Structure 1
Amino acid sequence: MAGVLVLALVPFGAVADAWQERADWSEIFRANEASGTLLVVDKRDGTTTTLVHDGERARQRFVPASTFKIPHTLFVLDADVVEDEFQVFPWDGVERDFPQWNADHDLRSGMRLSVVWLYQLFARELGEEREKSYLEAIDYGNADIGDDVENFWLEEDMLEITAEEQIEFLERLYRNELPFDEADQRLVKDLMITAAGSDWILRGKTGWSGKLGWWVGWVERPSGPVFFALNMETPNRMADLPKRQGIVNEALRTIEALPPEA
């Protein structure tokens, strides 16, 4: 029993030696001409298996970009900056490079289309003090917002997080263990749904800083969840963005976390 208790207290990162490097995932990255990391924590059937491509990079912090919309949505719901998923925020009339952003939005469309101006509005409403307090409360990355409340999750040298820390955060959200109302956590998880089948649900969020791309989330199966966090360089900018989901999907199929047709 004592041995079990000691193991339970060991932090996630301390058991990194048990991570399994996947040579076949290296081939997936190579075939996509991509440089990055993919960390997968498979919790099906009551066990935990941690698989990785480039474990060293999985412990390196990077700007979260729009993956930060996951916790950011929890912040604004908790602070009553947003009433619910139906509240509509009018477009400010500023034409932006992504045409789908040039419209009114609510939480659901803001998450699905990754509308930056909407979350910059939320950041101004929250303010530096509350942003910092929430980040520290959930132990998110380095919890550093710098001196730019509208861009701290988008620019380098401010907020940063590792792939490993992304999964630690997502696991807590999956279990409704973050310091927010359970209803708000369930809503955010609903907003994260990107695909589903008869016996699986894929929840995730992309991110892109202009240089770095993210795809984080999990697949829910009757036997348990499979968490994933990918980050990769995007030297070809938008041309590289489809590789994020493509690489993860291919890797998840190798462990039958996603069906072949997903």
Structure 2
Amino acid sequence: MKILILFLLFVFIVPDGFTQERNEAKPEWKIFFDKYDATGTILVVDARESPEKISIYNKERANKRYSPASTFKIPHTLFALDAGLVKDEFQVFPWDGVKRGFEPHNQDQNLRSAMRNSALWVYAGFAKELGEEKTISYLKKIDYGNIDPSTESGAYWVDGKLAISASEQITFLQKLFHNDLPFQIEHQRLLKDILIVEAEKDWILRAKTGWEGRYGWWVGWVEWPSGPVYFALNIDTPNRLQDLYKREAIVRDVLKAIQALPLNK
């Protein structure tokens, strides 16, 4: 009986991975946000070390849920592949002829270009074909954020109730890196391939931006031979389009500071 009580105490009292003592608050990273006149949070998990090192700027915000916006294209791609809505990265989705404000959206897309160009209309088509019931099933399967795809209008991952925190983004990315999500390994590998932003001989940067209008994301990881360095950034974007470059700029400055990206990148 005493052993059982001790076990239960351990299970319910030991904090999760992003709140353990080995986590390190990084108030000094404020300089990177101040440099770009930005307000937000960044969480970095450096798995090049053992145990992995978890660094957080603005921990309170890192645990607050926001609309995932286009970062949701990461799990959404797995949903579409699993449901057979898309066969591979070469399948073409004909442009619907609707003129949109971002010119790269106004053309035929495949899975790779839809991810790179963040073509919402392609993923809106996936959402329509999947339906809410199937979507909820997938969200539960991967324990994604608040698991609520309801919306009064617009895409549920931008304008609806779906929400996720920076810390939850990292947890999801870690599972994806290790092919540990409940989907075919081939699909997870394909997804990681179309997430490549930049690569050199000894490192690969895989990431996705997101923008809800009021705030923006950049989430992903840098792969090194010694291990991955995961990151999730969320910032306010009061100046809208003018603020979007700040997402990548801040993350790159942080990663360079911890030698997770070369200084010339």
- Cα 1:200–1:84, aligned 2, differ >3 Å: closer, same or farther? same
Contact 1:46 1:224 in 2 (8 A): no
Q: Which amino acid is 1:252 matched to?
A: L
Other-structure match for 2:215: 212
Amino acid at match of 2:203: W
Q: 1:146 aligns with which of 130, 147, 150?
A: 150
Shift of 1:148: 4.9
Q: Give the gaps of 5 or more residues in structure 1.
A: none
C-alpha separation in 2, matches of 1:49 and 1:227: 10
SS in 1 for 2:85: coil
Q: Once the 2 structures are TM-superposed, how far is the Cα of residue 22 of structure 1 from its aligned partner?
A: 1.6
User: Is the aligned partner of 1:171 residue 2:174?
Assistant: yes
- Runs of 4+ more than 3 Å apart: 147-150
Q: 1:181 aligns with which of 181, 184, 189?
A: 184
Q: Which residue of 2 aligns with 1:116?
A: 120
| Contact 2:36/2:246 (8 A) holds in 1 | yes
State how 1:1-262 maps to structure 2 within 5 Å: 11-15=16-20, 17-148=21-152, 151-155=155-159, 158-262=161-265
Give the C-alpha shift of residue 31 in structure 1: 1.2
Question: How many angstroms does 1:174 deviate by?
Answer: 0.3
Question: 1:19, CA displacement in angstroms?
Answer: 2.3
Letter in 1 for 2:226: S
Rg comparison, structure with higher value: 2
**Contact residue 95 and residue 109 of structure 2 kept, 8 A:** yes
TM-score scaled by structure 1? 0.94
| Secondary structure class of the residue paired with 1:46 | coil
- Aligned residues: CA RMSD: 1.7
How far the C-alpha of 1:11 sits from its partner, in A, is 2.7
8 Å contact from structure 1 (residues 74, 180) kept in 2: yes
Q: What whole-Å deviation, never above 9, does each CA across 1:86-125 have from its counterpart, x for those lacking one?
A: 1000001010111110000010000000001110011001
Q: Which runs of 5+ in 2 are unaligned?
A: 1-5
Shift of 1:10: 5.2
Tell me by how many angstroms 1:13 deviates.
Answer: 3.9
8 Å CA contact 1:123, 1:149 repeated in 2: no
Q: Distance in 2 between matches of 1:20 and 1:11?
A: 14
CA distance in structure 1 between the aligned counterparts of 2:92 and 2:148, rounded to whole angstroms: 29
DSSP-derived class of the 1:12 partner: coil
Counterpart position of 2:3? none
- Secondary structure of the structure 2 residue equivalent to 1:30: helix
Residue 149 of structure 1: how far off its partner (Å):
8.2
Distance 1:94 1:209 in 2: 21
For 1:130 and 1:218, the matched residues in 2 are separated by: 29
Residue 20 of structure 1: how far off its partner (Å): 1.3
Q: Scaled by the length of structure 2, what TM-score is found? A: 0.93
